[in-house]
C-alpha cells in the first residue's frame, strides 16, 4: 500500500509505502487506543453514579426519619394531654378513697402560648418518653392504691344491712317497748315487724355468712347472717328457708319466704340487727341505705360499732 503526503501548496510530496504487517499494526494500535478510552470513560461514570445514588438514598432516609420523628412527637404530645386528664381523674377519685389529692397531683403545671417551635431531636424525644414512662408508673401505683381503697370500701358497704329485707312489706311494729300481743304486758320488741302475705320473698339485707338456720320456739324458722365486724342480722317466722348454715349470701339474695311460724299472730317478717350481740334499731341501718347515694350504709355501721349511742343493752 502506498500513501502520498503533500503540503497545502503542493510544493512537496512524500510517498510512504505500507506493507500488510504495518497496516495490521496500525489497526491494532487504533483498537487499543479506543479500548483504553472506553475503559476510562466507564470508570469515570461508574464512580459518579454510585455517589449520586447514595446521596439520593441518604436524602430520602433523612426525610423519612424526619417525618416519623415529627409523627412521634405529636403522639407524645397526645400522651401528655391524656396523662393530664388521668391526673384530673385521679384527683376526683382520691377523695372517694380517702386519699389526699396532693398524693395524686405531684407534677407541676405546664402551659403557655407557643411562640416558636422547632423540630425535636431524637435525644429530646427520648428524654420526654423517659419522663412519661416515669410519670405513668407513678400514676399507676397511686391509682392502684385508690382502687384498693375503693374496693375495701365497697366490700364494707356490701356487708352493712342497708337493703330492705322485704320488698313491698308494710312496717307494723317498730323497735322498742310495746304491749306484748300474747300476755298484754310491756315488753321490748328487739326488731322490726314487716307485714306481708305468706310466701313473700325475704332478702338478705347485706352479704355475709349464714351462721344459724334452725327452728326456734319463739322465732320459728329462723336465719342468722354474720356480716363481719360483730354485725349479725336475724330473719324470723319464715314459712320456707332456702339457705343453710355455712352458705355465703349476697345482698338482696332470696333466703326465705314470709310465714307465721313460732310465736306469731299472723304472717310477717321479724327482722333484727345485732352488734356485738346487742340488738340495735334496724331502722337506723335501713334509713341510712335510703339517704346515702348508691345505697351505702357506712355511717350507720360506724355509729353502731363505736358502742356508745348506737348500742342498746
pLDDT in tens, 53-92: 667 777 777 777 777 777 777 777 777 777 777 777 777 7
User: For the domain bounded by 170-306, which CATH number is listed?
Assistant: 2.70.70.10
CA 246 → CA 132, 153, 155, 253, 270, distances in Å?
A: 50, 24, 19, 15, 22
User: What's residue 143's pLDDT?
Assistant: 76
Average pLDDT along the chain = 76
For 235-294, the pLDDT digits (tens) are 999 999 999 999 999 999 999 999 999 999 999 999 999 999 999 999 999 887 665 444
Of 279, 273, 269, 286, the residue nearest 162 (C-alpha):
286
Could you give the percent of the chain with pLDDT greater than 70? 70
Domain boundaries, the chain: 170-306
For 97-131, the pLDDT digits (tens) are 666 655 555 555 554 433 345 666 777 777 877 88
Q: Give the Cα separation of 131 and 125 in Å (integer).
A: 10
Amino acid at each position: 500500500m502506498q500513501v502520498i503526503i503533500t503540503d497545502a501548496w503542493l510544493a512537496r510530496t512524500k510517498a510512504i509505502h505500507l506493507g500488510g504487517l504495518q497496516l495490521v499494526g496500525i489497526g491494532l494500535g487504533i483498537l487499543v487506543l479506543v479500548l483504553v478510552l472506553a475503559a476510562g470513560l466507564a470508570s469515570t461514570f461508574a464512580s459518579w453514579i454510585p455517589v449520586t445514588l447514595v446521596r439520593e438514598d441518604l436524602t430520602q432516609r433523612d426525610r423519612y426519619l424526619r417525618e416519623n420523628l415529627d409523627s412521634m412527637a405529636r403522639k407524645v404530645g397526645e400522651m401528655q394531654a391524656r396523662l393530664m386528664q388521668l391526673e384530673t381523674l385521679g384527683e376526683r377519685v382520691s377523695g372517694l378513697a380517702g386519699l389526699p389529692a396532693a398524693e395524686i397531683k405531684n407534677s407541676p403545671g405546664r402551659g403557655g402560648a407557643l411562640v416558636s417551635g422547632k423540630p425535636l431531636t431524637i435525644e429530646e424525644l427520648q428524654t420526654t418518653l423517659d419522663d412519661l414512662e416515669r410519670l405513668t408508673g407513678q400514676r399507676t401505683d397511686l391509682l392502684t392504691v385508690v382502687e384498693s381503697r375503693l374496693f375495701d370500701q365497697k366490700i364494707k358497704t356490701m356487708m352493712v344491712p342497708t337493703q330492705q329485707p322485704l320488698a313491698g312489706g308494710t312496717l307494723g311494729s317498730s323497735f322498742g317497748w310495746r304491749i306484748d300481743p300474747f300476755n298484754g304486758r310491756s315488753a321490748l320488741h328487739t326488731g322490726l315487724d314487716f307485714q306481708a302475705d305468706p310466701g313473700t320473698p325475704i332478702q338478705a339485707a347485706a352479704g355475709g355468712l349464714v351462721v344459724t338456720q334452725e327452728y326456734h320456739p319463739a322465732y320459728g324458722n329462723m336465719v342468722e347472717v354474720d356480716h363481719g365486724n360483730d354485725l349479725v342480722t336475724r330473719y324470723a317466722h319464715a314459712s320456707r328457708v332456702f339457705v343453710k348454715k355455712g352458705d355465703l349470701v349476697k345482698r338482696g339474695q332470696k333466703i326465705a319466704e314470709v310465714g307465721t311460724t313460732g310465736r306469731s299472730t299472723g304472717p310477717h317478717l321479724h327482722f333484727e340487727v345485732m352488734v356485738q350481740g346487742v340488738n340495735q334499731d334496724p331502722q337506723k341501718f335501713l334509713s341510712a341505705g335510703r339517704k346515702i347515694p348508691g345505697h351505702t350504709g357506712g355511717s350507720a355501721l360506724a355509729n353502731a360499732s363505736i358502742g356508745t349511742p348506737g348500742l342498746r343493752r
